[in-house]
Chain A
Amino acid sequence: MAGPPRELDELLRALTRGDPSAISAEELARIEAALEADPALAAALAAEPAGGGDPLVAAVADTTPGPTADEWARVWSNISAGTATAARPAVGRRASVWLRLRVPLAAAAAVLLAIGTWWNWERRGGDAWEIRLAADVEIDDIDMPDSTTPVVIRLRPDGPVVIWALADMSG
């Protein structure tokens, strides 16, 4: 380490050597203050590898076996299952398929609903009615964004009214 006064340099060496008896509490406080006040000193110390040559580190080096292969496999399996990011593309793909299909699916559901409503109406003995194309309906305004179903069903006392919005093909 370059720069620090000789005495401070000695204190730092004693500290990094790992012998706590070589430094007093007052000297430790002095080192802390010096590291706080001198960024260059802190940077020099920060770059030093920690633990090398300390007998405590050598002694604590584990001789016990770590996790088994099965344990690691289980951990990895849980990590894979627990990280949502990996699954996001798949979720996105499903979403895009749903986006493409939802309008025709909604239309099909609306038709089934209309048929079901008609069938139920018949079963309950309601006035007979038939499915017919409305030729005399005038719609003042209908807001039909792209993302919504093109089918509107209104239930009225005289039977359901189904409005199926078609694209303007009149040119």
Chain B
Amino acid sequence: MNSLVRSSVDTSELRQIDAAARGDPAARHALFERYREVAYRVALRITGRHEDALDVVQDGFIRAFEGLAEFQREAGFQTWLLRIVSNRALDLVRARRVRLAVPLDADDADGRATVPADERVPRPDAALEQSELAARLRAAIETLPPDQRAVFALYATGELSYGQIAEALGIPIGTVMSRLFHARRRLYERLPDLAAEWGVQAPPPK
């Protein structure tokens, strides 16, 4: 399966990767600056916590830099990094074995996801609606089982192909599609108003 999709890797990045493998701090910093945001978003969506996401990103880059000698260049640094980050974030979530910001039993009585109490920064009015929507979605994402959450976190970057998601998680593409299907189904169960607004038939709550 992993051989099905190979990212196109530009030569300048390959040079950076080679330099980074030799320990060049500038090359490593350039890779860090290029991929830190996407790594953070994936880590945040899996762990649900800002500080945990930063720790995961930090650990992920350290492991990536230390493992550059084994890195298969044709796979693409981003996919490889996100694989490390996803695995690390999943390890963290599984170790916790608890729901994060919004536990299932803390939702509204009708099972709808609510906004987490620890939203970090107040937003201008113009962005409030989008912010609240994103917050409700994040709360719903945190109720997903870890495997589905990891697939959705990578999917939600909007920067990867289905093959890259499969490669990053080390699972067949059919499993990606299945987990994604169940993740979306569960999200719409918890956000029926959004499903109605978007013309998606929400499955009945289990």
In the complex, the chain B residue whose C-beta lies closest to that of A21 is B201
Which residues of A from 3 to 22 have beta carbons under 8 Å from B? 15-16, 18-21
Contact B185 A20 (CB under 8 A): yes
Residues of A within 8 A of B4 (CB): 39, 42-43, 46
**Interface assignment of A147: CB less than 8 Å from any CB of chain B:** no
A134 to chain B, nearest CB (A): 52
Q: List 7 A-B contacts (CB under 8 A).
A: A20-B203, A35-B173, A50-B165, A60-B137, A61-B134, A76-B29, A76-B32
A36-73 interface bits toward B, Cβ cutoff 8 Å, 1 = contact, 0 = none? 10010011011111111011110111111111000110
Q: A71-B54, A86-B23, A86-B28 are in contact. Are A20 and B61 (CB under 8 A)?
A: no
Inter-chain residue pair count (beta carbon < 8 A)? 165
In the complex, the chain B residue whose C-beta lies closest to that of A55 is B198
Contact B165 A85 (CB under 8 A): no
Contact A46 B162 (CB under 8 A): yes
List 8 tightest A-B contacts by C-beta distance, closest first: A46-B163, A21-B201, A32-B174, A20-B185, A35-B174, A51-B158, A46-B5, A86-B23
B76 to chain A, nearest CB (A): 13
Interface size band for A: 35 or more
- A50 CA to B4 CA, complexed, in Å: 16
**Interface assignment of A78: CB less than 8 Å from any CB of chain B:** yes
- A24 CA to B50 CA, complexed, in Å: 36
Residues of A within 8 A of B164 (CB): 46, 50
B181 to chain A, nearest CB (A): 6
**Interface assignment of A95: CB less than 8 Å from any CB of chain B:** no
Residues of B within 8 A of A20 (CB): 181-182, 184-185, 188, 200, 203
Majority SS at the chain B contact face: helix
Interface size band for B: 35 or more
Contact B163 A31 (CB under 8 A): no
Q: A32-B175, A43-B4, A65-B120 are in contact. Are A49 and B161 (CB under 8 A)?
A: yes
Q: A21-B201, A79-B62 are in contact. Are A36 and B162 (CB under 8 A)?
A: no
Contact B194 A59 (CB under 8 A): yes
Residues of A within 8 A of B1 (CB): 42
**Interface assignment of A108: CB less than 8 Å from any CB of chain B:** no
A77 to chain B, nearest CB (A): 10
Contact B156 A57 (CB under 8 A): yes
